[in-house]
Structures are given as structure tokens and as C-alpha cells.
């Protein structure tokens, strides 16, 4: 289904759309990288490193760029974050390392750490230059379920420690949200798969198909392997809970982004003159901006609270506005309108009620209503795990608020099972945090197996 434009404006051609989806942050040239590296003060206490979830020695890798030791710089990065190339593209550096940069003042901008990280890692990953070797075989085998950032990071570190890894992934491609869930303009030229190839290049990692709850069970994995790591992500999207939610044009934003990333033709994607996105996180920003880049005329993000409550960073909110997206706050969806004359029951608009905070901070609905016309309504109000589809997980390990409970070593209540990434309770839902989960779990598994 494609919601067609109803006005006379010309639709963007393929060349224009391709230009719209060019690299969000083009890579630095050699001279620009040297100039930027020279801006680093190489602080002895390195607040940028402290702010990095994976603990990359940021002054160390920047110093190596200054001395033209690009391979050494990449090694410094990848030894702590094997997905340093992707994180250089998608990590919210503006609220992590760059926010804590001592140059980040009213008078100065922070050192461009993300771009420098990309400058160092791209040549190594592009040439598949392996900087890490598989350890001596321990004779132990670990099952890793889910080939997203957490699973891939765990598998790579386990291979470095000499364990044989069987990596189960139900989808055609590995990479998880790096492949299926990130805006196309943030990771161009099939980088996600090139990074996967680099990670698997260490050896000792066997990929197999398999889905928990179908051909895999936790009990069977525990019986057949010495240890198990679960990086299964979140498999369901929260519903709006409104009538007509199954109407044509009411679309899961996560699914749409995945289809856009895998599309061979822009024409296969739904577009409309009026698009409304419900949500306030990165998925909402990504699907809204991509809708504008596909030629949708009016794209609005509606969020039930204020801008300071949005999970999307101020930088991402500003990026959306600069791309023509309107962000409206203090609106809660109340009714989906459909065209009663259309046999397909296509969505035609959405009603909201204005919200406010009570004296104790609770969200309240008011009597003030707002209507927005919409040919497409994207649902981007968060994801969850439907454990019924995952078989015996819920009966095998402890859950909290529908996510897996882990300790600081990412170990679950089952002594043979570790977990990481979006599926664990208390996580940050970031690629860089998932990588750290996988790395920590791998070291814990290694200690357990030895």
C-alpha cells in the first residue's frame, strides 16, 4: 500500500531522494582530522572516556591520529568497542563523550570525537584488517542468541578468549537494529554488514538460523552448550490502544524503518502529504526525518510531554526541525479517524487531547482537543518483549517489568545464562551500551568456563 499525494506538487525523483539519504555526517579528510585532533587537550582525567559506556581511551586514540598511527588508533578503539565504526555514526556523542569534553563551552565546540573515531576505524574495517586474533581453543562452546550489537560483541570477545561460539539469528541479515532499525542516512554504503563481516573475520564463530520459542528453547540450549548469552532485543511494539488501529496507514515505525533499510526501490514505501508520528524517542525522529526525505509534505511529531522529557536528544530534535519536521508537545492521541467512504478504511486523521503535569508531576488529560489530518500515522511509542513468543525464557530466568534481570556481570538468575542489550532491565537502549553488555558478559562467561 502506498498513500498517494493528493496535491499537484511533483514527487521527488530517485536522484533527489538518493541525495536526501546521503551520509548524515560525511567523513573527515586527513587534514581536517589532524586539525580536529590538535584541538584535544589530552586531559589526564579524561572526562570523555569516563562518559563513554565502553570506556574507550579517547585521548589515546586521538593522540595516535596526531602521530599518523591510524591502525594503532583503531586498535585502541576496537579493543574496547568492537563496533566502534557504527558507534562513531550513531552514538549520541552530544550527550556522552562530547558533552563532557572540556572544550564544550559557550565559547567553543567540543572536539569532534565521533568523527575522529570514524576516521580511525573506517580504513581498518573497510580493508577487513584484522587487529585481533582468536585465542587458543578451550574446548568450550557458547550459544549466543541474537546477532545484534550485544550478541556480536559477546561472540567476538568469546572468540578472542578461545571459546567456540554458535551464533543463532532468525533474520536473514545479522546486525540487529544496526541493520534494521537505524535511519538510512546515518549508515550508508551497507556499512552495517561490512562491520558484521569484520567481526566474524576473527573466526571461531559459527552462524546458524534459529528462533527462540520455535526451534530453540532455553532448556535445550543450556543442555547442549557450556554457557548461553541472550541478546534477543525487543520483539513487539507498544500499541496506541485506540479504535481503528488496524486501519490502512497506521504503521509500526520500527517495521517501516526496517523495510526502508532493505528496500530496493523507494516506490515500495508508503508516503502521504500529511504524516503524524506518535512518540518522542529516536525511532520517532528517524521515521519523521526519513518521511520528509522521501518527499512527504507535512510531517509532525506529537509527544505527550514536554521537549525536556523526550528520549531523543536535543541535537536530534533540532536535526528533525532543520529537515522540516514539526514537533508538537503536550498532546496525547485519543482517536484515529478513518475515511468511512473508503472500503479499505484508510486513516484520514488523528485526534489528540492536550496534556499537562499536575502539582505532583503526574500527566493529566485536559478537555482541550486538537485534530490533525493524516494519511499515515506512525506508532513510535516504544518496544517491549512478548515472552510468549520466546518459549521458556519467562519460566527459566527472572524478569522485571517485562525485561531480563541481570547483575553487573550481565548474569541472569540462571547460572548458565547471561543477557545484554535492549532485552535486559535497566539498559539504555543504545548500540554502545549493548556492545558493553556483550563485552562484560563475555568476560564473565570466560571466567566461569575457566
CA atoms of 88 and 97, how far apart (whole Å): 11
Answer yes or no: is 25 within a domain.
no
Cα separation, 157 vs 23, in Å, equals 30
Instruction: Look up the CATH number of the domain holding residue 326.
Output: 3.50.50.60
pLDDT score of 343: 62
Q: Which runs of E-coded beta strand occur in 123-175? A: 141-145, 164-168
pLDDT for 342 equals 62
Helices (H), 176-229: 177-180, 191-200, 218-224
Cα dihedral 422, 196, 153, 172 sign: positive
pLDDT given at position 3: 47
The verdict on 393 and 354 lying in the same domain is no
Question: Could you list the pLDDT tens digit for every one of the 450 residues in the chain?
Answer: 444 444 445 678 888 999 999 999 999 999 999 999 999 999 999 999 999 999 999 999 999 999 999 999 999 999 999 999 999 999 999 999 999 999 999 999 999 999 999 999 999 999 999 999 999 999 999 999 999 999 999 999 999 999 999 999 999 999 999 999 999 999 999 999 999 999 999 999 999 998 888 889 999 999 999 999 999 999 888 999 999 999 999 999 999 999 999 998 888 899 999 999 999 999 999 999 999 999 999 999 999 999 999 999 999 999 999 999 999 999 999 999 998 766 668 999 999 999 999 999 899 999 999 999 999 999 999 988 888 777 888 888 999 998 999 999 999 999 999 999 999 999 888 999 999 999 999 999 999 998
DSSP 45: S
Same domain, 243 and 375: yes
Could you tell me if 94 and 147 lie in one domain?
Answer: no
The DSSP result for 78-104, as a single string, is: HTT-TTHHHHHHHS-GGGTTTTT-TT-
What is the domain extent for residue 410?
141-235+385-449
Same domain, 366 and 434: no
d(Cα 159, Cα 220) in Å, to the nearest integer? 22
Question: Are residue 301 and residue 421 in the same domain, yes or no?
Answer: no
Q: In this structure, is residue 10 part of a structural domain?
A: no
Whose grid coordinates read 568497542? 81
Nearest one of 136, 123, 144 to 198, comparing CA atoms = 123
Distance in angstroms between the alpha carbons of the first and the last residue of the chain: 55
Same domain, 193 and 276: no
Q: 251: closest CA among 274, 276, 233, 281?
A: 276
Contact (CB, 8 A) for 144 and 229: yes
- Whether 296 maps to a domain, the answer reads yes
**CB atoms near residue 267 (< 10 Å):** 11
CB 110 within 8 A of CB 99: yes
Domain stops at, among 341, 358, 382: 382
pLDDT for position 5: 41
Contact 86, 192 (CB under 8 A): yes
**Cell numbers of 201, please?**
573475520
Report pLDDT for 10: 64
Question: pTM for this structure?
Answer: 0.94
User: What is the distance between the alpha carbons of residues 404 and 437, in angstroms, rounded to a whole number?
Assistant: 13
Q: Is 184 within the bounds of a domain?
A: yes
The domain boundary, picked from 364, 382, 400, lies at: 382
Regarding whether 370 and 329 lie in a shared domain, the answer is yes
Note whether residue 52 is domain-resident.
yes
For residue 309, the SS3 value is helix
The Cα 313–Cα 307 span in angstroms is 9
> Which of 64, 92, 126 is where one domain is finished?
126
Residues 419 and 369 placed together within one structural domain of the fold: no
Asked if residue 7 is part of any domain, the answer here is no
In a domain, 15, yes or no: no
Residues 212 and 247 placed together within one structural domain of the fold: no
Residues 370 and 415 in one domain: no
Same domain? 119 vs 167:
no
CATH number of the domain enclosing 120: 1.10.1060.10
Query: Does 253 share its domain with 333?
Result: yes
- Name the domain count of the chain: 3
| 65 lies in some domain | yes
Which DSSP string do the residues of 50-68 spell out, in sequence order?
HHSTT---HHHHHHHHHTT
Count CB atoms within 10 A of the CB of residue 99: 16
Q: What are phi and psi of 166, to 5 degrees?
A: -110, 115
**Collapsing DSSP states into helix, strand and coil, what is residue 208?**
strand
Amino acid at each position: 500500500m502506498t498513500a498517494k499525494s493528493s496535491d499537484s506538487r511533483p514527487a521527488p525523483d530517485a536522484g533527489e531522494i538518493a541525495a536526501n539519504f546521503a551520509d548524515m555526517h560525511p567523513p573527515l579528510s586527513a587534514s581536517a582530522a589532524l586539525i580536529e585532533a590538535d584541538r584535544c587537550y589530552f586531559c589526564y582525567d579524561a572526562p570523555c572516556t569516563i562518559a563513554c559506556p565502553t570506556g574507550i581511551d579517547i585521548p589515546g586514540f586521538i593522540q595516535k591520529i596526531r602521530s599518523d598511527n591510524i591502525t594503532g588508533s583503531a586498535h585502541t578503539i576496537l579493543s574496547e568497542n568492537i563496533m566502534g565504526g557504527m558507534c562513531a555514526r550513531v552514538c549520541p556523542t552530544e550527550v556522552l563523550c562530547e558533552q563532557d569534553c572540556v572544550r564544550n563551552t559557550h565559547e567553543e565546540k567540543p572536539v569532534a570525537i565521533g568523527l575522529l573515531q570514524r576516521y580511525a576505524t573506517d580504513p581498518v574495517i573497510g580493508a577487513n584488517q584484522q587487529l585481533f586474533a582468536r585465542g587458543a581453543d578451550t574446548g568450550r562452546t557458547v550459544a549466543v542468541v541474537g546477532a545484534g550489537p550485544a550478541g556480536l560483541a559477546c561472540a567476538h570477545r568469546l572468540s578472542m578468549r578461545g571459546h567456540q561460539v554458535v551464533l543463532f539469528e532468525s533474520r536473514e541479515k545479522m546486525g540487529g537494529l544496526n541493520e534494521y532499525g537505524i535511519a538510512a542516512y546515518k549508515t550508508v554504503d551497507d556499512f552495517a554488514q561490512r562491520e558484521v563481516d569484520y567481526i566474524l573475520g576473527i573466526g571461531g564463530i559459527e552462524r546458524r538460523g534459529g528462533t527462540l520459542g520455535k526451534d530453540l528453547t532455553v532448556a535445550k540450549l543450556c543442555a547442549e552448550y557450556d554457557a548461553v548469552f541472550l541478546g534477543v532485543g525487543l520483539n513487539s511494539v507498544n500499541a496506541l490502544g485506540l479504535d481503528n488501529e488496524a486501519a490502512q496507514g497506521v504503521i509500526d515505525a520500527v517495521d517501516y524503518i526496517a523495510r526502508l533499510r532493505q528496500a530496493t526501490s523507494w516506490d515500495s514505501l508508503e508516503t502521504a502529504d500529511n504524516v503524524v508520528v506518535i512518540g518522542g524517542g529516536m525511532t520517532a525522529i528517524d521515521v519523521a526525518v526519513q518521511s520528509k526525505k522521501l518527499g512527504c509534505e507535512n510531517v509532525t511529531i506529537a509527544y505527550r510531554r514536554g521537549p525536556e522529557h523526550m528520549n531523543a536528544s536535543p541535537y536530534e530534535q533540532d536535526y528533525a526541525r532543520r529537515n522540516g519536521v514539526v514537533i508538537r508537545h503536550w498532546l496525547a492521541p485519543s482517536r484515529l479517524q478513518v475515511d468511512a467512504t473508503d472500503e479499505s478504511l484508510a486513516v484520514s486523521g488523528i485526534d489528540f487531547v492536550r496534556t499537562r503535569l499536575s502539582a505532583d508531576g503526574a500527566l493529566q488529560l485536559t478537555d482541550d482537543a486538537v485534530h490533525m489530518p493524516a494519511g499515515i500515522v506512525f506508532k513510535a511509542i516504544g518496544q517491549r518483549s512478548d515472552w510468549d513468543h520466546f518459549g521458556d525464557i519467562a519460566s527459566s530466568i527472572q524478569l522485571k517489568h517485562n525485561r531480563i534481570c541481570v547483575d553487573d556481570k550481565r548474569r541472569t538468575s540462571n547460572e548458565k545464562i547471561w543477557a545484554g542489550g535492549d532485552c535486559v532491565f535497566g539498559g539504555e537502549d543504545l548500540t554502545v551500551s549493548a556492545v558493553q553488555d556483550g563485552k562484560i558478559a563475555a568476560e564473565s562467561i570466560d571466567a566461569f568456563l575457566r
